[in-house]
Every structure is written in C-alpha cells, then in structure tokens.
Structure 1
Amino acid sequence: MHGPGDLDVLVPTKDRPASLAVTLAGLAAQDARGFRVVISDQSSVPVTGDPLVASAVRILEHRGHPVSLLRHVPARGLAEQRQFLLEQAERRWCLYLDDDVWLEPCAVSVLVSALGELGCGFVGYGLHGLSHRHDRRPHELSPYEEWARQVWPERVRRDSPAWRRHTLHNAANPLHLAEKVGISAAWRAYKVAWIGGCVLYDRALLEGCGGFEFWRSVPAAHAGEDVVAQLRVMERHGGAGLLPSRAYHLELPTTVMDRAAECYDYVMEPS
C-alpha cells in the first residue's frame, strides 16, 4: 500500500514568485502528509529572496513536507527543466505541478488514491480557468468518454479521433464537465489527449518511456513537452483525467512567448 509519503511534487518556476507562493501555499494546506517538494528555479532573480516564497516553504516544512529549492540555470527549455526535476525525484510517484496552479486541500490524496487503484502511467486534473465559468462550450465537451473499470494503453496522435479530447480542458470546461456528468464518488476517470499543469506519474513508468530526455532533440525555445511525455506513457501504460478537477489555474500571462516549435513535430513518429 502506497501513500503521500511515496510522492515527490516537482515544481518548475521562472519569474513568478507571487504565483509560486500561492502554489506552495496550496500544497501546504493539503490533507495528505509526508510528500516531498522539489522546486527548480530558473528566475532572473532567485526566488529564495522572496518573502512570500520563503514563508510558504517554512510552512510546508513545519507541516512535515521536506522542500528542496534548487537553482537551475541557465535555462535550456521546458523539457530540460522537467528532466532535471525528474532526475531529482527519489520516490515511487512524481507530481508535476506548474507554478501557477492552486489545489484544493484533498487534491493530492485523491490523485494518489486514484493512481494506486488504476495502476496506469499517469492521472491528472484539467485546470479550471474560473474567469470563464460563465462561458459554456457544449461543443467542446462532446469528446468526453469515461474509463469503465480499467485504464488501457492508447495510441493518440494528431490525426486520431482521440486528439479531439484536448478541448475538454479549455477555459472552464472541467467545471462544466463535472456539472454535466454529475459526481457521486471521490473521482471518475476519463479519457484524455493530454493534461497540462497537474499530472501525477508512476515515476518508473515515466522514466521507462524516456522521461523528458528528448530535450536535446528540440530547439531551446519550445512548447508542448508535456504532450510528448504523456503520449509516450499513455501508449505503453495508459493515462486518465480525473473529475471533478481539484486544480485551478491562476490565469497569469504565459512565460513561454515563443511557441513556434512544438516538441511533437521534432520527436513523435508519424502515424
């Protein structure tokens, strides 16, 4: 039986100290205890000097969560930063959590419970963008399909029908999905194209699929590194989204201004 003590939370950050502090405060408020937090800081001004971040780190440590705040420069792109974090991980599971995401207090315990029960490669939450909570997009919810009892491996590519599932996580769609299907249990697993911002992996399975080692094969300015990693894991071990989502996007401007190079185009083999 495994629990939060078997978890490393991996947080990449760059030039968002206030947002990072909110993210860490959300982690500190989790009802799950004993997980470890590893932060990779590529900010122009190190976040160690920010009083809000320092306070959040102290609270985490006070509540029993070891924190490693690592300076990792120069920046070589998102995939390299994620690979660096993966190389720091020591525990069975690793949760990649972006520095602009706030979690409900039960979010980590639900993720860990679901991955333990499903036994697949990853589970995650699509992020709520609550500024869109009144923006209903029923046409974007149509690809929704639940996993019945077990999550199976899937091959998902751009030209496959499964690719259309990416719309499930636009705007406030996770909120509206949960309202539409109704949730009578702690979680429901559903089929995804990929998930951004909050994904819990079985670390050995992620590493067995190459992790983010492909960073050497893509331009330093790139996007979509999480898409490639998840497609690879999903093809061999399966992956699932969870409803209701317990993760909220802080909706800050992106720090990735140049998105011309998608990792998919450099790494994924043709269908």
Structure 2
Amino acid sequence: MKGIRKRVLVSFLSVVVLLFFAGLVSLFELRRVSSDTEEILRASERNLGLAKDMLDAAARQNKAVVHSIVFRQRDYDTVLMGSIAEMARTLEVVRREAVEQAYLDTLSVSAMNVQRLTQEFLRLQAQRMTSEVSGRLELRGGKDSLSMKSVEMDFDGARWYAEAYSKAYDKLTGSIKNYMISTQSSLAPRTEQLKRNAYRAVTPVLISLLVMIAIVLMLYYFVSAYLVRPVLAMNKSLGDYLRFGLPFRIKAEVKDEVAELKDRIDDVIQLARKTKPEQR
C-alpha cells in the first residue's frame, strides 16, 4: 500500500482513533460527573431529611406543651417524652454525619435547653396533678381547700410558656434552619468541582472536533491538489489530443498513482503514434 491510498487511509484512521479516545475520555469524565452529582443529591436529601425530622419533633413537642397547658391533658406527656427522645436520636445522627460544625454547637445547646424546660414542665405538671388529687381528698375529708388553690397558683403555665418555653422553641427552630442553610452552603464547593468536571468532560470532544476539522481540511486540500486537479487536467489534455491532435501535456503536479496513470497514458499515445505508420 502506497501513495494516495495510504494517505487517505491514514487520514480516516486518524479520525477514527481520535474519536475513539475522545469518546473514552468523555465517557470517563461523564461517569465521574454523574457519580458526583448523585453523591451531592444524596447528601442534600439526607441533610434536609434530618432537619425536617428535628423540626417535626420540635413542632410535636410544642403542640403537646400547648395542649397540656390549655387543656391539662396528661395524654400528651407521652408525646412530650417521645419528642424528646426523637430529638436526641436525630441530634446524635447529625453529630456523626455533619461535615460543617459551625452551627452544630448552637443547635445542641438550643435542643438541650428545650429538653430541660420540657422535663421541668413535666415535673411541675406531675406536682400539680398530685396536689390537685391531695386537695380533693382533703375536701372530701372536710379540710380547708386553700392549700390546694395555693399549689395551683404556684405554676402559671401560660406565663411559663410565653416567657421561657416559646423563646427557647424559637431559638431551637432558628438553629435548625441555620444548620439546614449551612449544610446546603457546604455543598457549594462540591458543586463548583462538579462544574469543572463537566467542562473536563466536554473539553476532549471540543479538541477532537477542532483536530478533525483540521484533518478534513488537510485531506480536502490533498485530494484536490494531488488527485482531482491532475485527473481533470489529464482528462482535458487527453480530450484535446483525441479531438485536435494536440500534445498530451499536464501542467498540474502529479504524484504516486496519478503520476503512474499519466506515464501509462503517455506510453499508450507513443505506442499509437508508432503503430500508425506501420498501418499505412
């Protein structure tokens, strides 16, 4: 294999090999981008889920406190204890998985403060219920009920909620929201890295495209200069020779197989000239 055929084959093989390697590199980078994207989405979903669990536990705890104060329903004591346990479990998970520790200390302090107030509320509620029961027994026994009224007035649930618990609850929910914002902000560098990886995935394709355009332009010039123009020139010169008897001459540069074709046409013309006198 030589000449024009070799050059054309090498050009097309170069394009194929370039496309193959560019595709491999792009596929590898795209898989990395896909893996990083999936990891970022999982981390974001996990952080949002933890924040939602903490907000739900705090909301249930707040609702139970309000119902206990307003309606004096002891059934909500179980809800309060469950909310405290759920908040503690969620905080433990957050401590293990948290990447950013900036708002974690504030969140822990706020949660512990709410838990302390809730436990204090349960203790006071239990004391009040015990005092009410003992007061009723004293009434039934004919004793004065002033002691019972004084015990009931010792703990003002509405005032305690407004001055202590609501402020601690607002601080806790604010700490949870700050934690949620901080965890989402911590994903920004990873998102920027993902952006760079996306550019890295596209870059080989762009480079390959530019190289392929250069190869195609070079191939076009080569085919036009060393194949198309010489063949057209030979066709015109051979036509002039056959019609008008003009000499077979080619001004275009010829190489390789085209040069061999020109030499053979010259040989045929010379042979035809030699055979004409013999026929006469």
Q: Same fold (TM over 0.5)?
A: no
TM range (shorter): under 0.3
Instruction: Determine which structure has more spread, i.e. the larger CA radius of gyration.
Output: 2
Q: What TM-score results when the alignment is normalised by the length of structure 2?
A: 0.18
Larger RCO (CA under 8 A, 6+ residues apart): 2
- The structure richer in helix per residue is 2
